[in-house]
Structures are given as structure tokens and as C-alpha cells.
């Protein structure tokens, strides 16, 4: 079973969001998503400083099977990106919630967080998609 | 030993060497390379052996059954090639005057007419040099149409989630934003989702029919009406044209632009990176924007249509009129088939696919769309085998090589788990199809009893199971001299 920690928020498109409590969030992809994708070989990250809207295609992760778009779960400005992934995309496979984070975001609309799923709802969503 | 490692300084294949260096002098100094190319120096026999050995490693349509879904790897009659190689064609200079090119131009004109008839489009231009360029041409013409109408707010192209990756790429290349719509459980497009994204911002939709999931989009007329009502145009990706040749016509379905892959449907070997031919056909409203040159006929002579006659054309795509060799083979193939033969291509392509799907599902494999009839290809989902036996689609694919079958397309379309997309084509015999079913059954039997044979396959190929993760992460594409 894939690991879906409590305390994070999840998007239907399989990104996780961690509320850092200071108006910023950290975003990555779920353990379930990395399992589906398989071994990652390339990650294309957004540019720090760019303004984005919720639902924008913002990054690309590429595995030996496929290239998949990553959508921003929230609106805001990109603060930082995880440069480690340029050389070590496998960090996402090894540690999707810690070393494998993708980017941090200064959010513009806190209420967007409420629209995301909690761990239980996401687990159910992922199971439904399987069938 | 690699050919580079056989190299000895000064060794020559004299008989094959280029005539002399006189030609070099005609190249301006500034354009000549400073360092000689690092090519191996070998004898004639060494180079013959090198290429012969390489060719024996080929796993190709000429040696093996090759059911690679969405690629239409079918037999290309040698006769088409022989005729396209006639000296009058091969030696014709592209700058030869019209009066000296009437035979060639007649073939091109007739090919335009045949393709119009087959697709139900109003006019055809042969010039795009590949499928991707044909796609680009199609969307560029749609853009030119909206621009000419002063309709500058149309910024979006709609693409189904099962589409070929080239579709969204083409839309983006032409400056559009891509709106993706989902496929329903029965394989058809979700019409409600389509309605929700249609609007004054819609430039058009890109569709493949039969779709990439191997079924015919049944509500195509309704889709076409909806898109046209919103002011958008419809683009037809000709990837799966083989399934409907002479049976159903994209023009009658309501499409405004279409590209055809002559190098898959019309008798040119492909899969090797070219050359190709991706002619485009259009409905009435896009005629002025077709790429030039095209061939016209006044009842007596054939003439080139250029930007002068077609001022609104999106322009020229290649130096001359596309890849003439591929176009000639397509023309000869079409003439050899005739109207009746064209229909039989579609009939046998779909019959073979449905025969395979029936036998395979009867023997326990799961079809992705069991309630639908296959077009020229169908999808198996090996989810059950992966979950219960720990043997993935990739393992099945690798093991097939040991049994002398090229693997079908794997893991495409992405929305089907453990996906195997099988396209037998019309040119395979009943025996070959039955053998494929047997191979699939054998591999499943192995998966049940000795799964490690399957998960470590292939065992009989010149290269064994590759570490594709390592290969992708540590790119190593060319030979380099050892550090001395």
C-alpha cells in the first residue's frame, strides 16, 4: 500500500501540499503517484518568481514509461525549487514527502487549501481511479 | 569488436573511396571542417561485415510479425518501390521545367485526386514531409482561417486525453493552449466534458478516429456539430486511417483538416525515422490556406500552383514538393489496389484485429473495452497478470522477442493500466495470427509456473534485458576514443 501521511493536503491530480503556516506551502507528488510513474529519470521544474494559477501545468516528471505534467494545486508565486532533483530525480521515488519535494509557493488565496483533500479522501480517490 | 576498435591508420577501402578531393575545393574554406571526422579506417571486407552484422540484429517487418499498435507495420509491396525507382522518376531534377515533368506531375495530380476521394476532403496538398509536419500544417491552416476572419480570441485547441503526444505538441507549436478532455469507460469521448470546454475561445479540436484506444468514435457527427456551432474547426489525425480506408471518410464526418501518413498506410517502410509523407486534405473553408506547391490540371497540361496562384497559402514547407519517392510509392500502391482493394485493406485490417481480440479474450486475457468491437487495433490490459503473477506488460513484451514476435505497443495510451496495444494489419496470414495467440498463451503459462523466465527475458536476443532507468539517467550515445 502506498503511504499517504495525515496532515498534508492532496489534489486530485496527485500532488501533495504542506501548509508551512506562514503563507507558504511546499508541493510534491504523492507516494501513489511515484509508484504509478515508476523510476523517474528527469524532472523539469518551474522558474522561481513566476506567478501561477491553480490548475496550471507547472512541471514535468519523466519516467521510463511516460512523461507526466504536474499541476499547481494552488495559486501564488513560486519561491523556491528543489534543485537536487536536477541531478537526482530518483529522490522523488525514494522520499516523495521529504527529499523529493518539488517547489515552494507563496499562496495568494488561503481558501484554495480548503478545496483540497485530506489523506482519507485522497486514499479513497486513488482507489477509485484504479477501477 | 566495435568498428572503431578495428580501425588502423591508413587502411582504406580504395574501391569505395570518393573520387577525388576536387569537389572539396568547391566548398568555401570557411565552411570546411577544421578537424577531420573521427571515422574508423577499415578495409572493404571489414565494413561489409560490419553492416551485414548490424542488419542481422534488425527485428523488422521483413523478418518478424510486428503488431506495433498505432504504427501500422504492414508489408510494403516491393513492386511499388521498383516502379517508383524508374529512371524517369529518379533522375528528374526538381528544377526541370514543367514541360519536362509532365509524367511525374500527372502522378502527383492523380494522387491528389485519389486522396481527395478516399478521405472525402475538398482539396489535398501533398507537400508535408512527415506526419508531424502534416499535423502542424493542419493546425496552422486553422489558425490562418481564424486570423483571416479577424477571430483573434480563439486561443484553445481541445485534445482528448488518449491522443498521440504529437497532438498537444502541435497545438502548442502553433501558439495555442491545450484543453484536455477525458475518455469515457466505453472508449468514446466524454461529450459533456466537451460541451463544458467549448466556447468563443475554441479554435478547434484534434481527433483520431478510430481513436488511439482502438474503437470508432460513434458520436463523431454530434461532436462535429457541437464544435462547428462554437465556431471551432475539426482536425483529423490520420494515424489510424488504415482501419477505414474506402469505408468511412473523414470529410463526411465533418472534419475540416486531415493529415495522412502515406509512409504507413500507403506502402513506404517506416519506423526508421523517415523519409515520410504527410499530405493534408481540407474542407471548403480551408482551401485557400493549403501549403504550396500543388499540381493543377487544365485538361491538357499539368502546372505547379505556387504562392502566386495561392496568395493566402500558409507557404512552402520543404525546398520542393515533399518527398517525391514516398509520394510515388503511395500513388502506385493506390493504383495497384484500386477502389475494391482499398476497401479490402480496411476490411482485413479490422477482421484480423477482431479475430485476435476474440481468441485472446476467449483464452482469458482481458480487453480494455470488451463490449466494443475493435477497429484495426485493440487494447489488452494485463492488470490481472501483473497483480496476481507479478509479471508486467513489459515482461510479456520482452518475452515475445524470444518467440520471434516484435512486441506490440506497451503502456500507450497511458490511461489504460498495463496496456498492450495490438495492431496485426491486413497483410498477416491466419497462421501468423494463430501463432501470436499461442505465444501469448505460452508466456502466461510460463508466468504462472516459472515467472523468472518471463521477468528476465529476452534470453535469445543480441542484447538482453536493458537497464532502461540507468540508460535514461546516464546517457551514453556515441563511441569516444579511450582516454590515453
ipTM of the complex: 0.74
Q: Grid coordinates standing for B321?
A: 514538393
- Residue B349: the pLDDT is 97
Which class for B14: exposed (0-12), middle (13-18), buried (19 or more C-beta within 10 A)? exposed
Disruptive mutation site among B161, B162, B392, B468 for chain A (greatest number of A CBs within 10 Å): B468
**Phi and psi for B146 in degrees, rounded to 5?**
-65, -40
Is B468 in CB contact (< 8 Å) with chain A? Answer: yes
Provide mean pLDDT across the span B151-165: 94
Is the pLDDT assigned to residue B21 strictly greater than 70?
A: no
Report the distance separating Cα A43 and Cα B208, nearest Å. 30
Per residue in B77-97, pLDDT tens?
Answer: 999 999 999 999 999 999 999
**Residues 30 to 49 of A: which have CB under 8 A from any B CB?**
39, 41-42
| Contact status, residue B342 vs residue B422, Cβ threshold 8 Å | no
Q: Grid coordinates standing for B134?
A: 502534416
Burial B380-399 (b: 16+ CB within 10 A, else e): bbbbebbeebebbbbbbbbb
| Contact status, residue A46 vs residue A77, Cβ threshold 8 Å | no
Provide mean pLDDT across the span A80-107: 95
Is A84 in CB contact (< 8 Å) with chain B? Answer: no
Q: Report the percent of chain A where pLDDT is more than 90.
A: 83
Report the sign of the C-alpha dihedral through residues B235, B238, B241, B245, in that order: positive
Q: Which fold does the domain B79-336 belong to in CATH?
A: 3.40.640
Q: Grid coordinates standing for B15?
A: 574501391
Compute CA distances A100 → A13, A29, A96, whole Å: 17, 8, 5
- Residue A20: the pLDDT is 95
Provide mean pLDDT across the span B374-400: 96
- Residue A65: the pLDDT is 78
Q: Is B305 helix (H, G, I), strand (E, B) or coil?
A: strand
Residue ranges of the domains in chain B? 14-56, 79-336
Report the distance separating Cα B6 and Cα B28, nearest Å. 33
Q: Using the structure block, give the residue that is written with the C-alpha cell 486530485.
A: A12
Q: How confident is the model at residue B24 (pLDDT cuts 50, 70, 90)?
A: confident
| Contact status, residue B253 vs residue B259, Cβ threshold 8 Å | no
Q: How confident is the model at residue A9 (pLDDT cuts 50, 70, 90)?
A: very high
What is the model's pTM?
A: 0.88
Beta bridge partners of A97: none
Disruptive mutation site among A36, A39, A87 for chain B (greatest number of B CBs within 10 Å): A39
- Residue B412: the pLDDT is 87
- Residue A32: the pLDDT is 94
Is A130 in CB contact (< 8 Å) with chain B? Answer: yes
Q: Using the structure block, give the residue that is written with the C-alpha cell 509532365.
A: B102
Report the distance separating Cα B215 and Cα B212, nearest Å. 8
Q: Which fold does the domain A9-123 belong to in CATH?
A: OB fold (Dihydrolipoamide Acetyltransferase, E2P) (2.40.50)
Is the pLDDT assigned to residue B20 strictly greater than 80?
A: no
Q: Is B157 helix (H, G, I), strand (E, B) or coil?
A: strand
Q: Order the strands of the B123-125 sheet from edge to edge.
A: B123-125, B280-282, B257-260, B233-238, B202-207, B156-160, B177-181
| Contact status, residue B26 vs residue B18, Cβ threshold 8 Å | no
- Residue A131: the pLDDT is 58
Q: B293 preceded by cis ω (within 30°)? A: yes
Which class for B53: exposed (0-12), middle (13-18), buried (19 or more C-beta within 10 A)? exposed
DSSP state of B127: -
Counted residue by residue, chain B has a size of 484
- Residue A76: the pLDDT is 96
Residue closest to B227 by CA, chosen among B156, B322, B161: B156
Chain A residues in contact with B414 (beta carbon < 8 A): 66
In angstroms, what separates the C-alpha of B394 from chain A's closest C-alpha? Answer: 10
Amino acid at each position: 500500500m502506498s503511504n499517504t501521511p495525515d496532515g498534508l493536503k492532496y489534489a486530485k491530480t496527485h500532488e501533495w501540499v504542506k501548509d508551512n503556516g506562514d503563507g507558504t506551502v511546499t508541493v510534491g507528488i504523492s507516494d501513489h503517484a511515484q509508484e504509478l510513474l515508476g523510476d523517474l529519470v528527469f524532472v523539469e521544474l518551474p522558474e522561481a518568481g513566476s506567478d501561477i494559477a491553480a490548475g496550471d501545468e507547472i512541471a514535468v516528471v519523466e519516467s521510463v514509461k511516460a512523461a507526466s505534467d504536474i499541476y499547481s494545486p494552488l495559486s501564488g508565486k513560486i519561491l523556491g525549487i528543489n534543485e537536487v532533483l536536477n541531478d537526482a530525480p530518483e529522490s522523488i521515488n525514494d522520499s516523495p514527502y521529504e527529499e523529493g519535494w518539488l517547489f515552494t509557493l507563496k499562496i495568494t488565496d488561503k481558501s484554495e487549501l480548503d478545496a483540497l483533500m485530506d489523506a482519507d479522501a485522497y486514499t479513497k480517490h486513488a482507489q477509485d481511479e484504479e477501477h | 569488436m566495435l568498428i572503431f576498435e578495428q580501425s588502423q591508420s591508413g587502411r582504406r577501402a580504395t574501391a569505395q573511396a570518393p573520387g577525388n578531393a576536387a569537389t572539396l575545393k568547391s566548398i568555401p574554406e570557411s565552411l570546411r571542417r577544421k578537424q577531420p571526422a573521427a571515422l574508423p579506417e577499415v578495409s572493404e571486407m571489414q565494413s561489409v561485415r560490419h553492416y551485414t552484422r548490424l542488419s542481422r540484429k534488425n527485428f523488422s517487418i521483413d523478418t518478424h510479425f510486428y503488431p506495433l499498435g498505432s504504427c501500422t507495420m504492414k508489408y510494403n509491396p516491393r513492386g511499388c518501390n521498383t516502379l517508383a525507382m524508374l529512371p524517369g522518376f529518379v533522375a528528374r531534377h526538381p528544377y526541370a521545367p514543367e514541360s519536362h515533368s509532365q509524367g511525374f506531375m500527372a502522378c502527383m495530380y492523380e494522387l491528389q485526386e485519389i486522396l481527395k476521394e478516399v478521405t472525402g476532403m475538398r482539396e489535398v496538398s501533398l507537400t508535408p514531409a512527415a506526419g508531424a509536419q502534416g499535423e502542424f500544417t493542419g493546425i496552422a491552416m486553422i489558425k490562418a482561417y481564424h486570423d483571416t476572419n479577424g477571430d483573434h480570441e480563439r486561443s484553445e485547441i481541445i485534445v482528448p486525453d488518449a491522443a498521440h503526444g504529437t497532438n498537444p505538441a502541435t497545438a502548442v507549436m502553433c501558439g495555442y493552449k491545450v484543453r484536455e478532455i477525458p475518455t469515457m469507460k466505453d472508449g468514446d469521448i466524454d461529450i459533456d466534458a466537451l460541451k463544458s470546454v467549448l466556447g468563443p475561445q475554441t479554435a478547434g479540436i484534434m481527433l483520431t478516429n478510430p481513436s488511439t484506444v482502438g474503437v470508432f468514435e460513434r458520436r463523431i457527427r454530434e461532436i462535429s456539430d457541437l464544435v462547428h456551432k462554437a465556431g471551432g474547426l475539426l482536425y483529423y489525425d490520420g494515424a489510424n486511417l488504415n482501419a477505414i480506408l474506402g469505408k468511412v471518410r473523414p470529410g463526411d464526418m465533418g472534419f475540416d483538416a486531415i493529415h495522412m501518413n502515406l509512409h504507413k498506410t500507403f506502402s513506404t517502410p517506416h519506423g526508421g525515422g523517415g523519409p515520410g509523407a504527410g499530405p493534408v486534405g481540407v474542407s471548403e473553408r480551408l482551401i485557400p490556406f493549403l501549403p504550396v506547391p500543388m499540381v493543377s490540371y487544365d485538361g491538357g497540361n499539368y502546372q505547379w500552383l505556387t504562392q502566386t496562384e495561392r496568395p493566402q497559402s500558409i507557404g512552402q514547407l520543404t525546398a520542393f514538393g515533399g518527398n517525391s519517392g514516398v509520394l510515388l510509392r503511395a500513388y502506385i500502391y493506390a493504383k495497384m489496389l484500386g477502389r475494391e482493394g482499398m476497401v479490402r485493406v480496411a476490411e482485413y485490417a479490422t477482421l484480423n484485429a477482431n479475430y485476435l481480440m476474440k481468441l485472446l479474450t476467449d483464452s482469458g486475457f482481458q480487453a480494455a473495452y470488451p463490449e466494443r468491437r475493435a477497429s484495426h487495433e485493440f487494447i489488452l490490459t494485463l492488470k490481472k497478470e501483473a497483480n496476481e503473477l507479478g509479471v508486467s506488460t513489459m515482461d510479456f513484451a520482452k518475452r515475445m522477442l524470444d518467440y520471434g514476435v516484435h512486441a506490440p505497443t506497451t503502456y500507450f495510451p497511458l490511461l489504460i493500466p498495463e496496456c498492450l496495444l495490438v495492431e496485426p494489419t491486413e497483410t498477416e496470414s491466419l497462421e501468423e495470427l494463430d501463432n501470436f495467440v499461442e505465444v501469448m498463451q505460452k508466456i502466461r503459462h510460463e508466468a504462472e509456473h516459472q515467472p523468472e523466465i518471463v521477468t528476465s527475458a529476452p534470453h535469445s536476443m543480441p542484447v538482453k534485458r536493458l537497464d532502461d532507468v540507468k540508460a535514461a539517467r546516464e546517457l551514453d550515445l556515441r563511441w569516444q576514443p579511450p582516454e590515453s
